[in-house]
Amino acid sequence: MDHFLYKNGALHAEDVAIADIAAQVGTPFYCYSTATLTRHYQLFTEALSPLPHLVCFAIKSLSNLAVLKTLADLGAGMDVVSAGEYLRAKAAGVPGDKIVFSGVGKTREEMQLALTGGIRQFNVESEPEMRALSQVAHGLGLIAPITIRVNPDVDAKTHEKISTGKKGDKFGIPISRAREVYAEAASLPGLEVVGIDVHIGSQLTALEPFETAYLKVAELTHALRADGHNIRRLDLGGGLGIPYARDNSAPPLPMEYGEMVKRTVGDLGCEIEIEPGRLISGNAGIMVSSVIYVKEGEDRDFLIIDAAMNDLVRPAMYGAHHDIIPLIEAEAGAEQRAFDIVGPICESGDTFAKGRNMPPLTEGALIAFRSAGAYGAVMASEYNSRPLVPEVLVRGDHFAVIRARPTFDEMLSRDTIPEWL
């Protein structure tokens, strides 16, 4: 569920009319709902109770400091994959012992930053990384708590670009070699093995791939404990999908996911860590845009809008679907018309939808892209020298701009012309 609803025919975020935000901020912009973020985080904490657990929000899905602080104040940990994300978590008030550092390419500088700033654990992805972390930690006279990410060779049955748990993917070590790698980890100075990590992909719409992977992790837990390792945490990753289209199909609910976790690994006496991103942030955000032109083509009609692929790249990158709705609710039975909904960037890939049925719209009409909170603003760019769009956070009947739209002068000022020019 989310808190973007029509009230008296006008789309609202909680108790704020989206059109009022547009009048003040201009379009395009992203808008997030505090109530939705809160509810989705709480669904996960409730689903995993009474197991000891920590829900670590995947910052890569939505990294605005105001959003991170909203979740941190609820008790969330954070899953980071870069020095920048680590510093964002700290700036949002997240203590180091609630930050998990993931990612396949951690540099020695990032390792040092996290070790000296405080870290819950590193999710180690390879043997070279493990050896480098040992050297850095030992050189600082510190101990790096680690899990090792195992690749269970499980098909997540999701888009190939967001599948991470098959043997051909770049993530983790083969689970068949886990005991050997854990043995080396135990022999290295500066490391402390605390658990196992697994993550098989994003936008999963069924529980079976998770269950297959988690049963393999349970088996590995017993084997590693028999080898003398103190396995006390299981980081089960994230990946539970959201319903991008408002139809009758829906991914499993967090409560169903929680029951599966308890069934597969709940009897191991381990603290459970999960790293949801999309399910917390995805439906907590929309992107709002204006219609520039309604163009009649030879064999199709176009809505040309002021948002573009640089603002929301998912449709161009993944062929992703977003429901697109007008801010003024269409009358019941209103005639629908098929449009290709496109942006102003000079590429055919700058297309959000093809043949999408929409109610009558005119120049200046406002539309909203649903389920745009995850992998929206964080993946935006300034392609075509288009400034990054603002982000807005709503709470109740209030809203605040939490990232302003840069001016053209601010954007240009980041470039430097060398003196010889």
Is there a catalytic annotation at residue 31?
A: no
DSSP β-ladder status, 271-274 and 53-58: parallel
Catalytic residue, candidates 31, 56, 270, 346: 346
3-state helix, strand, coil in the chain (%, to 5): 35, 25, 40
CA distances from 44 to 41, 49, 253, 273, 275 (A): 6, 9, 9, 11, 10
Token couple for 18: 């989206």
Token couple for 24: 């003040």
DSSP β-ladder status, 53-58 and 77-80: parallel
User: CA 25, 26, 31: angle at the middle one, nearest 5?
Assistant: 60
The DSSP line for 352-368 is EEEEEEE----TT-EEE
Q: Is 109 exposed, middle or buried (0-12, 13-18, 19+ CB in 10 A)?
A: exposed
Alpha helices in 188-243 (DSSP H): 208-226
Q: How many residues does the chain have?
A: 421
The residues that are catalytic are: 346
